[in-house]
């Protein structure tokens, strides 16, 4: 008998609301034993495209949709594919503009590189940072 955390169904409902080509990209870039734990949209500004942030039980994926100029064709771009076990630290950043708009950014430090997730909802960024920390702790306990 499978037992699911009550929020699992909410996450899956959110995941099902993502565009089909984004869902397909997530499935292609994850292993069958991974579960989607959270997803939200970030990058909400006048100057950038929106980013789809998907947190699984093993990684953080940031995906955007790009267009081929005059052809009007779109394709999916994997901007970030960060294994959670490699994340050294998580930083939540709020610029003046972020504070006014109720947004925040998150930096995921991995060895000598920092991945940035910009302009997400402040509440979602905080929840994501907490969830990533919890998953990292669980993964490190399982490795022992």
Query: Quick one: pLDDT at residue 4?
Result: 40
Strand partners, 113: 110
Where exactly are the structural domains of the chain? 6-143
Reported pTM: 0.86
Kindly give the residue spans of alpha helices, DSSP state H, lying in the chain.
Answer: 6-17, 20-28, 96-101, 122-143
CATH 2.60.120.10 fits 6-143, yes or no: no
What confidence tens digit (pLDDT) does each residue in 12-60 have?
668 888 889 999 999 999 998 999 999 999 987 666 678 999 999 999 9
Q: How confident is the model at residue 10 (pLDDT cuts 50, 70, 90)?
A: low
């Amino acid at each position: 008998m499978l037992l699911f955390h009550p929020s699992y169904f909410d996450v899956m409902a959110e995941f099902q609301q993502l565009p089909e080509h984004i869902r397909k990209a997530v499935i292609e870039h994850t292993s069958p034993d991974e579960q989607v734990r959270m997803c939200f949209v970030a990058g909400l500004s006048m100057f950038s495209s929106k980013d789809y942030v998907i947190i699984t039980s093993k990684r953080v994926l940031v995906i955007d949709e790009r267009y081929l100029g005059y052809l009007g064709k779109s394709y999916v771009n994997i901007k970030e594919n960060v294994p959670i076990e490699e994340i050294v630290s998580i930083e939540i950043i709020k610029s003046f503009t972020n504070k006014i708009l109720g947004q925040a950014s998150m930096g995921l430090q991995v060895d000598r590189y920092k991945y940035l997730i910009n302009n997400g909802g402040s509440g979602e960024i905080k929840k994501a940072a907490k969830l990533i920390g919890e998953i990292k702790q669980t993964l490190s306990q399982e490795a022992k």
